[in-house]
Amino acid sequence: MLDVSTPVPPAFCSHPDRVGSYGDEAAELAAMSGRILDPEQRQALDVLMGYDRKGSWTAFEGCIIIPRQNGKTGGILVPMVLWDMFLGPPGLIVWTAHRFKTTQEAFLDFKQIIARVPEFSRRILRISEANGEEAIELKSGTRLNFLARSKTGGRGMSGKRLVGDEAFALEDGHLGTLIPTMAAIPNSQVVYASSACLEGSEVLRRLVERGRAGGDPSLAYIEWCSEPGSCRRGEACTHSRDEHGCQLDDLGAQRTASPALGRRILVSTMAAMRRAMSPAEFAREFLGWHDKPVGSENASPISVEAWAKAARPGSLIDSGRVVLAVDCSWNLRSTTIAVGGETAEGLGQIELIDFQPGTDWVPDTLARLLADRKVSAIAVDGFGPVGALVPLLQPVCDAANVELHSLTGAESATAAGMVQEAVCQDSPRLVHLGDDHLAAAIAGAARRDRGDGAWVWGRKRSDVDICPLIAATEVFWGISTFGVKAYDLMKSFG
């Protein structure tokens, strides 16, 4: 049974020194409308709403990061703004979100709260419902404006509070428009709320780095997440749904990141989400694992979206002959065998034949495959950990009269570039079956630069075991190199 009676502590929490917090007052305002906050929501308010001896905010910026459906908008941002409206000094509050629909939903929430609480409604001067100009004005002079973010919207609005909901989509241009308007407003504050970073979440990623480091004199930060690293197979785990002991399936890890699990989120619903989503998406949205940044040294050159676009479940290799590849994880804890060939449409296709722990099973499995299939060659990474298996694989290949080819460093770089070029097209020229192991490898893969723009897959820099991806890359290269092709991949790539 999942224990939901004990509050879930945040994974990261830091804030400047303060003498108190307005968090309890904000929670009481929410309770007046019948909204009883979770203990985690109350803790977030306590952290974000700290004040000094003068009663002013101790932090100019506040940031809350927590996975989806944990009430960061309705249970943290809304109570905070209710305090601004009804207990704080008069002034302008600007509520922004990435999507116009999200700002409309927040506006509707405030309208419903005000309608339910007479103490609130009698202090309202007017409510503007014009499309794109939603606003609530109080008799005190306080105004709450709702905006969908743009690089020009909000310029000229000098506010005491700026709310940045959906902060994963914040851009520097948005902040350049909105934050300078607060420069002459005493006791102003910006608060950001988001789930984990996407690849392009540059603004949010800087907040994460500052908040996790702690000690920032102007940032109050609180984050719930389940940090990677506790899968049964460690770095060899692909996070696919059939991985025994994967952290993504652990209820404790799920609730560490999503305190609402067992309260508003049913355990059965979380299990359904796990089945429905890719490992990378599920890990980000429900366990709080941040995507790698775009353009970083460690970022995968192939996005999850581009890889998914190349999926063709049910597609068949139509060529008479195929290429195989064998690869191991850097610690030899797992091994994979991949196959490549051509489809009837003339596309290169890659598949995983087998992916298992250890290495003992590989020679016998390879011998059976060579007996059953017309194989042109077997490719391995000549500088990788699979080199330890070459003395065992060579006799198997010799017996079947099949070449065992060890890729050079230059060939591995060419192979990686070929896969990237073939996948990242409007119409991909490489297809795959949508295998979970490959999807997990793409999501967690990192590259290692070799100079002059060339790169190879980086095993130790990757978050997961990428040997399935390396084997698949090698067979795609082998389709052209060993004559199993309907078009000249090498010529197209070059």
In a domain? residue 294: no
Distance CA 389, CA 380 (A): 10
Distance CA 494, CA 460 (A): 29
pLDDT for 319 beyond 90: no
pLDDT for 490 beyond 50: no
Q: What secondary structure does DSSP assign to 64-83, as a single string?
A: EE--TTS-TIIIIIHHHHHH
Distance CA 95, CA 85 (A): 12
In a domain? residue 410: yes
Least confident of 24-28, 52-56, 158-162, 452-456: 452-456
pLDDT at 486: 41
pLDDT at 297: 53
pLDDT at 273: 93
Q: Are strands 20-21 and 50-51 parallel, antiparallel or unpaired?
A: antiparallel
pLDDT at 148: 81
22 and 165 in a single domain? The answer is: yes
Q: What is the CATH number of the domain that holds 334?
A: 3.30.420.240
Please name the helix (run of DSSP H) or strand (run of DSSP E) that holds residue 14, with its range, or none: strand 12-14
What mean pLDDT is predicted for residues 463-475? 91
In a domain? residue 398: yes
Condensed to tens digits (0 to 9), the pLDDT of residues 176-226 reads: 777 777 777 889 999 999 999 988 888 999 999 999 989 999 999 999 999
140 and 214 in a single domain? The answer is: yes
What mean pLDDT is predicted for residues 160-174? 88
In a domain? residue 298: no
The whole-model pTM stands at: 0.64
Percent residues over pLDDT 70 in the chain: 93
Higher pLDDT, residue 253 or 149 = 253
Q: What is the CATH number of the domain that holds 59?
A: 3.40.50.300
Distance CA 48, CA 35 (A): 19
Condensed to tens digits (0 to 9), the pLDDT of residues 393-409 reads: 999 999 999 999 999 98
In a domain? residue 243: yes
The domain boundary residue, chosen from 223, 246, 276: 223
Condensed to tens digits (0 to 9), the pLDDT of residues 9-50 reads: 999 999 999 999 999 999 999 999 999 999 999 999 999 999
Strand partners, 451: 454
45 and 119 in a single domain? The answer is: yes
What mean pLDDT is predicted for residues 330-344? 91
pLDDT at 330: 82
407 and 443 in a single domain? The answer is: yes
218 and 240 in a single domain? The answer is: no
In a domain? residue 295: no
Residue spans of beta strands (DSSP E) within 306-391: 322-328, 334-342, 348-357, 375-381
pLDDT at 241: 81
Distance CA 171, CA 215 (A): 24
pLDDT at 493: 36
* Structural domain range at position 17: 12-223
b/e code 434-473 from CB counts within 10 Å (16+ = b): bbbbbbbbbbbbbbbeeeeeebbbbbeebbbbbbbbbbbb
414 and 277 in a single domain? The answer is: no
Number of domains in the chain: 3
What mean pLDDT is predicted for residues 424-451? 87
pLDDT for 299 beyond 70: no
Q: How confident is the model at residue 236 (pLDDT cuts 50, 70, 90)?
A: low
In a domain? residue 4: no
Condensed to tens digits (0 to 9), the pLDDT of residues 355-369 reads: 999 999 999 999 999
pLDDT for 156 beyond 80: no
Name the H helices within 288-435. Answer: 304-309, 362-372, 390-400, 409-423
Torsional class of 261: left (φ above 0), alpha (ψ -120 to 50), beta (otherwise)? beta
282 and 310 in a single domain? The answer is: no
Q: Is 242 helix (H, G, I), strand (E, B) or coil?
A: coil
Selection from 282, 284, 279 nearest residue 270 by Cα: 282
What mean pLDDT is predicted for residues 423-449? 88
pLDDT for 296 beyond 60: no
